[in-house]
Structures are given as C-alpha cells and as structure tokens.
Structure 1
Amino acid sequence: MSVNNLHTDEELFTLIKEGNHGAYTQIFDRFYVVLYLHALKILQDEDEAKDVVQELFENIWTKRDFLSLNGTVSSYLYACTRNLVLNQIAHKKVKGRYLDSLEVFMGQETYLTDFYVREKELKRIIEKEIASLPQKMGEIFKLSRTEYLSHKEIASKLKLSELTVKTQVKRALKILKPKLDFLIALLLLFIL
C-alpha cells in the first residue's frame, strides 16, 4: 500500500502498526529534524542527539506491534524523545561515577600494591634482624612476638625462669629497636 502526504500523523501511526514501511518513512521525514533539535537543545551534543532520535525511530519500528497512542503523534514522539534524553543523561552520570570509582580503585590498587611490596620488604628485613640475634634470644623473641606466648608460657616451654625470658626479650628489643626505628623512618620517608 502506497502512502502519500495526505495522511494525518495518526493515520500514519496506525499504518506503521500494520507494518507499512512507507508510513514509517513519512513519520520519520516529518519529525526527525524537530526531534533532533529538541534532543540537541537538552544534550548539547550533536552525536548524542542523533543517537537518541535514531534509537527512538528504531524502537518505533521494532516495537510497532506494541505501540499505544493516547494523544497526538507529536506529543508521543516528544515524550519518547524526552525519556530517551533523560535515560542518556542518567547513563552518562552512572558512567561518570563508574569511571570515577574505577579511577579511585586503580589509584588504590597502585597504592596497595606499593604498600604490600614495602610491607613484604620490611617483614623480610625484620626477620633477618631477628635471625641475627643470638640463638636462644631469637627463639625467645619469636615465641613472644610471633606466637604471642606470655613470658610464663615461654619459660615453661623452654624450661627457663620467667625472669630469664623477660630479660632476653628486653635485650632483643634493645638490639632491634635502633635498627628497626631507622628502617621504619626510612619507610615512612618513602611513603610520604
């Protein structure tokens, strides 16, 4: 069925619902420019405005069986354009928030990776310094600081007096503190 310019918008819309491509072309030709200008006024981006109007007309054709017209065709098309524009704006906001959070995450990942590398290096240095302690002192210190045993538990386990354990831990700390203070200060200097 051929379509001429004598049909009203509402008649063309009814023909579109019946699958008439000529009616679809007529509606497209009548409304494309004004809907594009309407979208452009809000979006301020020519490509986005074209995309919105293209999406509108694509939806009209692909969903023609489900179209429902409660007013004029022009009011329907303007409302659909407005809704698509609002969806576009919301999508841009979500995309912007996602990109912002991704950027923050990427920055955190770099920071965390750097932190873990420094932490691992510091742990290695501390373990090396503990290993350089006299054997019995190192063993007592490890039980105290890595296994979190009390002086009484260490004394019982190693068959030593509590006073000996306490003295050995103090001496180990006295030896390690100056070395570790320097390393921690150096580490903090690199972090800042």
Structure 2
Amino acid sequence: MTTLKHFSDSELVDLFKSGDQAAYVEIYDRYTLTLFNHAYNKTRNREEAKDVVQEVFTTLWAKRDQINFQSNLSGYLYTSLRNNILNRIARQSILDKYTTSLIQFIQTETSQIITDHLIREHELAALIEKEIAALPSKMRQVFELSRKQHLSHKEIAAQLDISEQTVSKHVTNALKILRVRLGFFIYLLMLFHLL
C-alpha cells in the first residue's frame, strides 16, 4: 500500500480528481484540523465548526469532477470554508430578521391572528417532525440525539458505537435532506407573512 503523506497537494489533487479515495482521505487528514480551528475561530461553536468542515469535505467529494482548482488546494479549501461560514451567517441573519419581524407582528395583531399564527406554527412543527421521521433510521436517530437531546458528536458516537465522522456525516446529510424538503414550505410561510 502506497502512502500519500509525502505527495504534494497538486499531486493529491490530480489523484483526487480521478476519484482516488486514498487521495481524498489524505486531503481530509491533512487539512481537517486546520480548517476546524479556522472555523471554530469564526463561529466559536465546536459543533457548528465540525458541521462546516464536514460540509466542505462532503461537497469536495461530491463535486470532485466539476471542481476547477484555480488556486492551490489549501486556498480552495479555505475559500470554501469561508463561503460556507458566510452563507450560514447570512441565513442566520435572515432568520433573525424574520424572528424579530414575527415577534413584532405577534405583539401588534389581534388574538385571532395570533391564533392563526399558532396553528401555522403547529403545522410547521408537525411537518418538520414528519420529515425527520422520514429520514433513514440511523440518520434520524443520530439527528435526534444531536438536535433534540443536544448531545455532542462524541457522546452520540459513544452511545451508538459508531465513529464521530459517521455521526457528523449523518447530521450533515440530515440537514441537507431537511433543507431540501422544508425549504419551499418555509419560503411560503415567509411570503404569506410579508403580504
């Protein structure tokens, strides 16, 4: 078995783009800790930093044949990480604005409108629960332990006797699935709120 530790980044990229999993693993091993530290410095949240790094590497593998490495590998990874963090901040900012707007709306409207809002909120909660229940069994179990019981990836890995990387992969994939399935419905709720 050939070790890739002494390969340059450009050599790894060439192997990786051809689908070499060992090259991907070497890239992951070489950059994951540095990217995690950078993400943690920006987010100040370990779990979010892990999720961001996992998304970068998941996207890297999924789009390996489409990626055009204009700069060096580390530059590409840092740019991907930065963009991912900025996208999360933007989404959080939109969510915060929506939440603030919703609070103001609740405070100024009649009790009938508040009742209607609560019904929609319960419907949304039921839809979210339905979509979570539709996730594959192991992914759902990991996601619920992470998001509902607020266990760390390490605690979940220990409880389910799986690796932390597998936990992170399940959480990342669950979030992607839920974003796709719930995105349009949440958009409609925001649209109706603005009318």
Secondary structure in structure 2 of the residue aligned to 1:64: coil
Report 1:39-188 matches (<5 A): 39-109=39-109, 111=110, 113=112
Q: Deviations over 1:125-171 (max 9, x none)?
A: xxxxxxxxxxxxxxxxxxxxxxxxxxxxxxxxxxxxxxxxxxxxxxx
Measured in 2, the distance between the counterparts of 1:88 and 1:67 equals: 22
Q: Which ranges of structure 1 fall in alignment gaps of 5 or more residues?
A: 115-192
1:113 deviation in Å? 2.9
1:2 deviation in Å? 5.1
Q: Deviations over 1:26-74 (max 9, x none)?
A: 0000000100111111111111111111100000000111111122111
Alignment-mate amino acid for residue 65 of structure 2:
D
Q: Which ranges of structure 2 fall in alignment gaps of 5 or more residues?
A: 114-195
Alignment-mate amino acid for residue 53 of structure 1:
V
Secondary structure in structure 2 of the residue aligned to 1:27: helix
Q: Which residue of 1 aligns with 2:17?
A: 17
TM-score, length-scaled by structure 1: 0.55
Measured in 1, the distance between the counterparts of 2:9 and 2:71 equals: 11
Measured in 1, the distance between the counterparts of 2:49 and 2:61 equals: 19
Secondary structure in structure 1 of the residue aligned to 2:7: coil
98-107 or 34-43, larger mean C-alpha shift? 98-107
Secondary structure in structure 1 of the residue aligned to 2:68: coil
More relative contact order in 1 or in 2 (CA 8 Å, sep 6+)?
A: 2
1:102 deviation in Å? 2.0
TM-score, length-scaled by structure 2: 0.54
Q: Which residue of 2 aligns with 1:7?
A: 7
CA RMSD of aligned residues (A): 2.1
On the 8 A contact 1:2/1:22 being kept in 2, the answer is no
